[in-house]
Amino acid sequence: MLNTLYPAARAILFKLEAEKAHHLSMTGLRLMEQTGILSICTTPPKNKPVTLAGITFPNPVGLAAGLDKEANTIDALGRLGFGHVEVGTLTPKPQPGNDSPRLFRLPEHQALINRMGFNNPGIESGIENATSSRSFKGVIGINIGKNKDTPNAQALDDYAVAFEKAYPHADYVTANFSSPNTPGLRDLQSSETAARLLETLKAIQAKHQRYVPIALKVAPDLREDEITQLSKVFVDGGLDLLIATNTTLSREAVAGHLHAEEAGGLSGSPLTQQATEIISSFHSKMGPTVPIIGAGGIFNAEDALAKREAGASLVQLYTGFIYRGPALVHEIIEAW
């Protein structure tokens, strides 16, 4: 039922300012879950398990980080069919993010531009929210990052703090070092810094009896030589999962649009091919050693299957989910 109602709901939501619509829809989902309405008007997805990094995902479709920034809507989102939900990005200290407006729709291009800036309640509150999840039986990923006011020279300390706090409560943890909306963050993608970040996280991982896989999320704007260098770092360093990709700084595909020059990361259909090519390039260099979760411009089953053909073992949705709703989740699972 919800699948058929979503286009009408989207038409109403798209009349509102983008961030207000986001908060309204997330609040609505939580209320529908708490009152049992959501369970009545949704259909459980087919069980198509995929095992990666020692984790069995109920199905190949997950929700990318950035939608549930506070980790307080996991049960409701899981009810929509996602096999895994990645929450955050969560930073060691709470932070408000960048000034509003900071989220823009480009409907003609089926795209979004955001410069949210890791707005979140902080890792401790985020973990408290995430652990209050009750009905969701799928996989929970926790996405972590550094605070805006932490210099890059101390960035690894932020990741270590957040990773240590997230570790006992996550099925996997993603270090987001590729958002374009925290100044200087993408500088951490240099092979030398990435190696030190991975080494730091692996050292913490080794101290624990329970093994929680480490994922890193990369940008779609990497050059081929950077992909080659990072691939070696990831293989040599024992990375468990790679998420490819984050949003792009490119504006070529949306040139001339009213919001084209807004600062921030572009996501959606303009990113489809670019993200798929990045997945293919990483996969060609790492093979099956580091499994890839594909993200970026997935709007139908064909887009998802193209990511799989390029080397992704799972996919994540964000912008496609905003435009198409839960029907997209079920469509991809059916076709996988």
Alpha carbon 160 to chain centroid, angstroms: 20
Amino acid letter for position 194? A
Q: Residue 172 maps to which CATH number?
A: 3.20.20.70
- pLDDT band of 188, cuts 50, 70, 90: confident
Q: What's the CA gap between 253 and 266, in Å, rounded?
A: 10
* Mean pLDDT over the full length of the chain: 95
Q: What mean pLDDT is predicted for residues 184-197?
A: 86
* pLDDT, tens digit, 9 for 90 and up, residues 219-268: 999 999 999 999 999 999 999 999 999 999 999 889 989 899 999 999 99
Which residue's structure tokens are 């996997």?
Answer: 172
* pLDDT, tens digit, 9 for 90 and up, residues 6-47: 999 999 999 999 999 999 999 999 999 999 999 999 989 999
Q: What's the CA gap between 213 and 244, in Å, rounded?
A: 16
* Pick from 333, 325, 335: nearest CA to 4: 325
* Pick from 293, 326, 317: nearest CA to 7: 326
Residues 6+ apart with CB under 8 A from 69: 87, 88, 89, 90, 116, 119, 120
* Pick from 157, 311, 290, 175: nearest CA to 236: 290
Residues 6+ apart with CB under 8 A from 253: 109, 111, 266, 269, 270
Residue 177 has pLDDT above 90, yes or no: no
* Pick from 53, 62, 49: nearest CA to 291: 53
* pLDDT, tens digit, 9 for 90 and up, residues 74-119: 999 999 999 999 999 999 999 999 999 999 999 999 999 999 999 9
Percent of the chain with pLDDT over 90: 90
- pLDDT band of 186, cuts 50, 70, 90: confident
* pLDDT, tens digit, 9 for 90 and up, residues 154-172: 999 999 999 999 999 999 9
Q: What is the pTM of this model?
A: 0.96
Q: Which residue has the higher pLDDT, 317 or 191?
A: 317
What is the domain range of residue 88?
2-335
Q: Is 179 a catalytic residue?
A: yes
Total domains, the chain: 1
Residue 151 neighbours by CB distance under 10 Å? 10
Residues 6+ apart with CB under 8 A from 65: 86, 87, 88, 89, 141, 143, 174, 176, 217
Task: Evaluate whether 88 touches 71 at the Cβ level (below 8 Å).
Answer: yes
Q: What's the CA gap between 221 and 218, in Å, rounded?
A: 9
Q: What's the CA gap between 255 and 273, in Å, rounded?
A: 17
Q: Which of 25, 133, 178, 179 is catalytic?
A: 179
Q: Which two tokens stand for residue 130?
A: 């995430």
